[in-house]
């Protein structure tokens, strides 16, 4: 006898998917063209047609915690060929955005980050924190003399705010999300017959994470795409510039607190050179991302939701204020340099504090899903 499945449609879930960029999902009439043209989908139980049925029926438990939703790289080959304009690529993107909120904690923050009504509140939080810390300490004024950002916002105060964000907040929120996510994708894969391993062996799973890293670092999957192939360069630039800035931040931390060498550092300093190269690469990467999204690829391919754009604008704000802080400092323009530096720190705070709720969280969740796909033997290890 065939397995029976009690259909429990979640109308609110469908509404939320539509609000997050999947408004075309009801147009699908199940022709399966999308699953045939997808260059990434495995032959067995391919996506995204089955996900489109689940989305139309509001089958939340079939989508949230479904590793296939994360194997999709949003290349939009499927959307281009969909005869109904159902935009399956955008629907899967909306499911991922919903899933990030579902796994994140605390829920109130997870709800306001993707909500366009609250962008001002997300910016107001760091502004209020900075003003409350700097004001009573007497720092909220433009300092006299040579421009030194530490005179305006002492490095110790920056570290008091940002070190706990990086070492406690981000690992805590991601830790909770990762535990829930991996448990769910395993349960879902076993239930749907996509995993050859009924157990979840953590050491073996971690080996799968290592095995998938070369694919992620080289962005190999993007080159399988036809429609959005040009996203390859922009994504690679953004990924490696963030890695460069991560190295730079840690080197400056060691220089300041262990080697006791305070800034500002000369432009010829190798770490400073890496910082400047990373900043320029990030700027080029973001501008390419914006131009790729704005390209006219026909009405079947969407230009992205608020959730996608809010991250792009945040990173753009971060890199532009970072570069302008440096240039206005070198040009000795204190009245402009200090306020821009303040804005830069606001953007850095937003990136750190809202990272596990933002689109950038897909880096973590997609890595885990791709690793699980290898672990479950749905795809071979590269």
Interface contacts to ligand SF4, rule CB under 6 A? 28-34, 38, 40-41, 47-49, 52, 72-78, 82, 84, 86, 88-89, 92
Q: What's the min distance (Å) between Cβ of 21 and ligand SF4?
A: 13
> How many CB atoms are located within 10 Å of the residue 104 CB?
23
> How many other C-beta atoms are found inside a 10 Å radius of the C-beta of residue 194?
20
Closer to ligand SF4 at the Cβ: 47 or 242? 47
CB of 347 to ligand SF4, least distance (A): 29
Tokens at residue 18, please?
């539509």
Rounded to an integer, what distance in angstroms lies between the CA atom of residue 237 and that of residue 289?
10
The distance of closest approach from Cβ of residue 184 to ligand SF4 in the complex, given in angstroms and rounded to an integer, is 20
Choice between 82 and 345, CB closer to ligand SF4: 82
Smaller CB distance to ligand SF4: residue 41 or 325? 41
Which DSSP string do the residues of 18-86 spell out, in sequence order?
IIIIITTGGG-----HHHHH-SSS-SSS-TTHHHHHHHHHT-HHHHTT-HHHHH-----HHHHH-TT--
Report phi then psi at 295, rounded to 5.
Answer: -60, 145
84 vs 151, which CB is nearer to ligand SF4? Answer: 84
Tokens of 37: 């043209």
What's the maximum distance between 2 C-alpha atoms anywhere in the chain? 83
Residue 20 Cβ, how far from ligand SF4 at the closest point, in Å? Answer: 16
Residue 16 or 228 with smaller CB distance to ligand SF4: 228
Rg (CA), the chain: 23
Contacts of 55 (CB under 8 A, 6+ apart): 14, 17, 22, 25, 63, 91, 95
Burial of 333 (0-12, 13-18, 19+ CB in 10 A): middle
Smallest separation, CB 225 to ligand SF4 (Å): 6
CB of 49 to ligand SF4, least distance (A): 4
Query: How far is 71 from 316, CA to CA, in rounded Å?
Result: 27
Measured from the CB atom, is 58 or 89 closer to ligand SF4?
Answer: 89
Separation of alpha carbons 16 and 111, rounded Å: 11
- Closer Cβ to ligand SF4, 159 or 230, answer by number: 230
CB of 300 to ligand SF4, least distance (A): 9
Cβ proximity to ligand SF4: between 65 and 126 the closer is 65
Q: Which is nearer to ligand SF4, 68 or 102 (CB)?
A: 68
Q: Which residues contact 92 (CB under 8 A, 6 or more apart)?
A: 47, 48, 51, 69, 72, 74
Tell me which residue of 136, 135, 153 sits closest to 338, measured CA to CA. Answer: 153
Give least dist CB 192 to ligand SF4, A: 17
> What is the closest distance, in whole angstroms, from the C-beta atom of residue 50 to ligand SF4 in the complex?
9
Q: State the DSSP code for 166.
A: I
CA-to-CA distance for 242 and 279, rounded, in angstroms? 9
- Residue closer to ligand SF4, measured from CB, 25 or 275: 25
Residue 221: CB minimum distance to ligand SF4, A = 8
**How far apart, in whole angstroms, are the C-alpha atoms of residue 345 and residue 320?**
12
Instruction: State the Cα–Cα distance between residues 188 and 29, nearest whole angstrom.
Output: 25
């Amino acid at each position: 006898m065939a397995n029976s499945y009690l259909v429990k449609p979640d109308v609110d879930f469908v509404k939320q998917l539509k609000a997050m960029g999947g408004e075309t999902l009801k147009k699908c009439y199940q022709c399966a063209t999308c699953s045939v043209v997808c260059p990434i989908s495995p032959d067995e139980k391919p996506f995204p047609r089955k996900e489109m049925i689940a989305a139309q029926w509001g089958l939340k438990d079939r989508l949230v915690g479904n590793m296939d939703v994360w194997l999709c790289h949003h290349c939009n080959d499927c959307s281009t060929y969909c005869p109904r304009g159902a935009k399956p690529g955008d629907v899967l993107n909306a499911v991922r955005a919903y899933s990030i909120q579902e796994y994140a904690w605390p829920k109130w923050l997870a709800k306001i980050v993707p909500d366009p009504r609250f962008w001002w509140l997300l910016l107001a939080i760091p502004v209020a924190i900075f003003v409350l810390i700097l004001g009573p300490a007497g720092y909220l004024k433009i300092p006299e003399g040579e421009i030194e950002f530490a005179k305006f916002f002492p490095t110790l105060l920056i570290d008091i705010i940002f070190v706990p964000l990086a070492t406690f907040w981000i690992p805590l929120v991601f830790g909770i999300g990762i535990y829930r996510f991996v448990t769910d994708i395993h349960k879902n894969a076993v239930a749907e017959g996509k995993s050859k391993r009924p157990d979840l062996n953590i050491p073996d799973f971690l080996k799968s994470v290592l095995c998938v890293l070369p694919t992620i670092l080289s962005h190999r999957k993007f080159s399988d795409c036809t429609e959005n192939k040009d996203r390859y360069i922009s994504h690679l630039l953004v990924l490696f510039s963030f890695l460069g800035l991560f190295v730079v931040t840690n080197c400056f931390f060691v220089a300041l607190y262990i080697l006791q060498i305070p800034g500002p550092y000369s432009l010829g300093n190798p770490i400073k050179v890496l910082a400047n190269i990373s900043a320029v690469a990030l700027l080029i990467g973001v501008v390419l991302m914006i131009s790729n999204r704005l390209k006219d690829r026909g009405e079947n391919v969407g230009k992205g939701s608020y959730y996608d754009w809010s991250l792009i604008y945040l990173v753009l704000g971060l890199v532009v204020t970072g570069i302008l802080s440096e240039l206005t400092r070198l040009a000795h323009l204190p009245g402009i340099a200090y306020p821009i530096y303040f804005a830069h720190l606001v953007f850095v705070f937003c990136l750190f504090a809202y990272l596990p709720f933002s689109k950038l969280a897909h880096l973590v969740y997609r890595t885990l899903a791709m690793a699980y796909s290898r672990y479950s033997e749905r795809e071979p290890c590269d």
